[in-house]
Structure 1
Amino acid sequence: MDSARPDAPDALSVHPVDELLPAPQLVAYGLQHIAAMYAGVVAPPLIVGAAVGLSPAEMTILIGAALLTSGLATLLQTLGVWKTGSRMPFVNGMTFAAVAPMLSIAKTTQHGHALPVIYGSILIAGATTFLVAPFFGKLARYFPPVVSGTVISLIGLSLFPVAFGWITGSDPAAKDFASVDRIVLAGVTLAIVLVLNRFLAGFLQSIAILLGLALGTLLAIPFGLFDASALDGTPVFAVPSPFHFGGPEFQAGAVISMLIVMLVSMTESTADMLALGEVVDMPVTEDTIAAGLRADGAATFVAALLNGFAVTAFAQNIGLIALTRVRSRFVVAVGGGILILLGLFPIAGAIIAIVPQPVLGGAGIALFGTVAASGIRTLSRAQLGDSNNLLIVAVALGFGLLPIAAPGFWSHFPQVVQTVMGSGISAGCLVAIALNLFFHHLPLGRRPLPPAPVRLAQELAEPVH
């Protein structure tokens, strides 16, 4: 991999982003980045694996693939190859945006074919992302905060039923379905995560969710909800086999859903690169954005080959860089190397697979809620004083929540419609983009915002309900 930066000032003036720290610091800070994003990497395979009915051993394979491909993506993003990779301290991992569409694909696909169809759609989406990366900057204006904030909020909201399903159990006929023990264990786990976030600081605070999962798992033993059978026969080291769950299959609805996911992902990655540029005091050019998005596309394509999912930037690690002021991209590259090692040791995935589902559900409320809250934070920049923007958010949220509130709403439509609109992310994104075009880009629909003083007066005059 090429670690040289074409726009570096000179050999005697090394930007902090290009600074190579001593090995002990590289490892220590790299581990800190892993701690901050580990829970986010393993959550998507846990959710999708459960939805398609994988066994604990198969779930271990899925988790290992997520860790391995996240590490490869992070290395590509930080070190770069040719015009691929931003060469910034940019952590990549499995995107939550793809989870709801993948669950929709699983519901509308014949048993045993869900993962091959998912991987087929990811292959096409990854290749498309790589090819359109240089042109995406020209489309970014169609994804303002009113669109991106709505979609990010829907990502978190769409995942809440998953957390609640982990807590209650998936089989209503089971003896312990929604039992007091399961709900109490989930509540205690959530309380532990909240208390740790309140009283810890620095590195320990960044791993509060991991600590909560560990403590919750220990508490599950007296509840009789702990099962370590996933560790039996799990190899310590294994190299993943491409398309372990079957060769890729291609369905139009699945491909369309995943292309929409990658549009959302590219928007998020672009915003994250701009934010990271400010944090590390390095201007982000169109070439940088194109190179970063190429890395997302290439990594997503490779991830599908190795049983992983779509890849994007992890914003929480940008906050970690801002907090520690450690800006070296080689620190993040070492973190990527650690992820690869974890992915090559299935025992690491098996340890995550034995975490009881009520414990995952309790921590998931905080984890998924954080994603939704991030979208709300983005919406705070969306000029919601404009009634047009308010309508965009309102209607897009309505369509995005349809699959949760009325799961059978699209059941009599063609399968391609069921797959696309059955995902809250896809549906909400399509509606938000269409309404944004109607209100702000079509000549008949465009209406400029009033001057700021007039806008403030209008907002103050609105009745309080």
Structure 2
Amino acid sequence: MAINSQGNPTPAACHPVDEKLPAKQLIPAAFQHVGAMYAGVVAPPLIIGPACGLDQRDQIVLISVSLLVAGLATLLQTLGAGRFAGNRLPFVNASSSAGLASLLTVAHSAPEGHRIQTVLGAVLVGGLFCLAVGPFFGRLMRFFPHLVTGVVITLIGVSLMTVPVAWVQGGEGAPDFGSAANLGLALFTLVVIIVLQRVLRGFLKQIALILGMVAGTLAAAPFGMLDTSTFAQTSLFALPMPLQFGPPEFHPAAILAVCIVILVAMTESSAGMLAIGEICDREVEKRVVTRGLRVDGIATTVGSLFGGLPTSAFAQNVGVVSLTGVRSRFVVAFAGGVMALLGLFPVLGGVVSLVPYPVLGGAGLMLFGSIAASGIRTLSRAHLEQGHNMFVVSVSLAVGLIPLAAPTIYQQFPQWFQTVFGTGIVAGAVVAVLLNMIFNSPLRAPAAKPVPQPAAPANGG
């Protein structure tokens, strides 16, 4: 006899991962996953949209597509499609923050009026690259140990910190940029989130970031800091249309930058699957990882045709499974269905677009700070006291921080070089991989399984 999520005996043939819970248990557990992933799903389009020069209405489209793709990808991942795709684990797929800094560089380097097309073209090829590399990725895992992934994740969090800092001040181009009112609203939002994280428990703690954003938005309303003009014209229900931003454009430098980040995202997804397997006491074989990565590739490729961004694992939801002990994949599938439905109602994306930039900034400081903290935690398991590991980390972080400290340092270099290395994440990743090869010889070492500790369910992805 096996033991289910509630500690009751079940037939041995039914693993807790395959357990179908009654609705009164399934629905609350599913909404915990929705709460843990929602803020992280809507954050990437909120960042990429303005960088590509999109107006508020187009940003709402990006948000809706992000929600829809996340939901459908999670459904495919948890329920599976024969032996072709899906790891059939309680595993969430959604827009990843890993590639945001690179996508921002791609957007800024593209000609005005062609930015979103260039970004989506690079994402499309990145998705195809994921599909092509997925079956062989197990052989590449040795190049991405904790030493490398820790550097990359840390750089992701640090590099993206410029985004919420700009939001805190009101957003680039705002007439009141840097005003005391904007800074005060951002501080209020951050303080509310901190207090809620301290006093709340269970599901409410999972959605503390969302509750903080609601509180900040309500606080902004009496001061006329809400722009409701676009929201009033947003349709209640709409199906996303392919190529609604025009045909994708393909630029080699942009594609290379995104493909490098895709490798990092694949490493995250693979590690997440192994972690879920450990938590759920189910062996994750190579073919399971391959099927899981195939979902990443499918979601990224197809999603890009509608305005979607790179898709990978959400570590926060791994933490939810660990903390709640509910291992049923059908719970996560239900959560995916909820997210997909949310994506079909643009009015919900319009609600997100109402949130003032200072409120987003206050929440973003915590959101992206938690990513950097995750990277530091990963580095803590990289045995920095051994060999040249500390040297590898030091040089990689230094190179990765150069574009952040001096954004114009590579302006005399060719455009392709600026696009690829103008983001610290790619530069740091390349240096970390090369130095790890030089000092730790991964070519001769067997590939180790990176089984990370499950992340605490802070909001974001």
**Post-superposition offset of 1:175:** 4.1
Q: What pairs up with 1:77-156 in 2 under 5 angstroms?
A: 77-82=77-82, 83-156=84-157
Deviation at 1:322, TM superposition (A): 1.1
**SS of 1:96's equivalent?**
coil
Task: Give the Å deviation of 1:333.
Answer: 0.7
Are the equivalent residues in 2 in contact too, given 1:105–1:254 (CA < 8 A)?
yes
> Contact 2:171/2:357 (CA < 8 Å) preserved in 1?
no
Q: Which amino acid aligns with 1:205?
A: K
Equivalent position of 1:167 in the other structure:
168
Q: Does 1:61 align with 2:61?
A: yes
Q: Partners of 2:51 and 2:116 in 1: how far apart?
A: 10
Query: Which amino acid is 1:35 matched to?
Result: G
> Is this contact kept in 2: 1:163–1:360, CA < 8 A?
yes
Call closer, same or farther: CA 1:133–1:229 in 2, change over 3 Å: same
CA RMSD of aligned residues (A): 1.7
Matched, 1:73 2:91: no
Q: What's the offset of the Cα at 1:295?
A: 1.0
- Taking the aligned partners of 1:122 and 1:392, their CA distance within structure 2 comes to 29
Corresponding letter in the other structure for 1:32: Q
> 2:139 aligns to what SS in structure 1?
coil
Kept in 1: contact 2:142–2:442 (CA 8 A): no
Q: How does 1:210-359 map to 2 (within 5 A)?
A: 210-359=210-359
Q: CA deviation at 1:26?
A: 2.6
**Matching residue's letter, 1:54:** L
SS at match of 1:239: coil
State the shift of 1:139 in Å.
1.2
Q: Which amino acid aligns with 2:289?
A: I
For 2:171 and 2:207, locate their aligned partners in 1 and report how far apart those are by CA, in whole Å: 28
Rounded Cα–Cα distance in structure 1 between residues aligned with 2:175 and 2:441: 55
- In structure 2, what is the Cα distance between the partners aligned to 1:404 and 1:350? 32
- The amino acid that maps onto 1:71 is G
Residue identity in the other structure for 1:113: H
Alignment partner, residue 406 of structure 2: 406
> What SS does structure 1 have at the residue aligned with 2:62?
helix
Q: TM-score, normalised by structure 2?
A: 0.92
Residue by residue, what CA displacement relative to the aligned partner does 1:237-275 show, whole Å, maximum 9, x if unpaired?
Answer: 000011211101100111101111110011111111111
Q: CA separation in 1, counterparts of 2:254 and 2:421?
A: 11
Deviations 1:381-433 (A, max 9, x none): 11111351112111111221122111111111111111110112111111111
CA distance in 2 between counterparts of 1:425 and 1:370 reads 16
Structure with max Cα Rg: 1
Partner of 2:41: 41
Structure 2 CA distance, aligned partners of 1:114 and 1:194?
A: 36
Structure 1: which amino acid aligns with 2:229? S
Could you tell me how far 1:11 is from its partner in structure 2?
8.3
Contact 2:149 2:264 in 1 (8 A): yes
Residue in structure 2 matched with residue 158 of structure 1 by the alignment = 159
- In structure 2, what is the Cα distance between the partners aligned to 1:219 and 1:271? 40
SS in 2 for 1:312: strand
Stretch moving more, 159-168 or 10-19: 10-19
Shift of residue 112, structure 1, vs aligned partner:
1.3
TM-score with structure 1 setting the length: 0.91
Alpha-carbon deviations, 1:340-378, whole Å to 9, x = none? 110000001000011000000001000000000000000
**CA contact under 8 A between 1:69 and 1:306: conserved in structure 2?**
no
Superposition deviation, residue 177 in structure 1? 1.5
Deviation at 1:171, TM superposition (A): 4.3
Identity of aligned residues (%): 50
Say if 2:436 and 2:442, in contact at 8 Å, map to a contact too: no
Alpha-carbon distance, 1:442 to partner: 7.9
Tell me what 1:453 maps to: none
Q: Deviations over 1:57-112 (max 9, x none)?
A: 11100100100001111011101113211010000110001110110011110011
Contact 1:153 1:371 in 2 (8 A): yes
Identify unmatched segments of 5+ residues in structure 1.
1-9, 447-465
Unpaired runs of 5+ in structure 2?
1-9, 446-461
Equivalenced residues, count = 435
Specify the SS of the correspondent of 1:139.
helix
- Give 1:23 deviation, angstroms: 3.0
Contact in 1 for aligned 2:158/2:369 (Cα 8 Å): yes
State whether residues 166 and 172 of structure 2, in contact with CA within 8 Å, keep that contact through their aligned partners in structure 1. no
Amino acid at match of 1:381: R
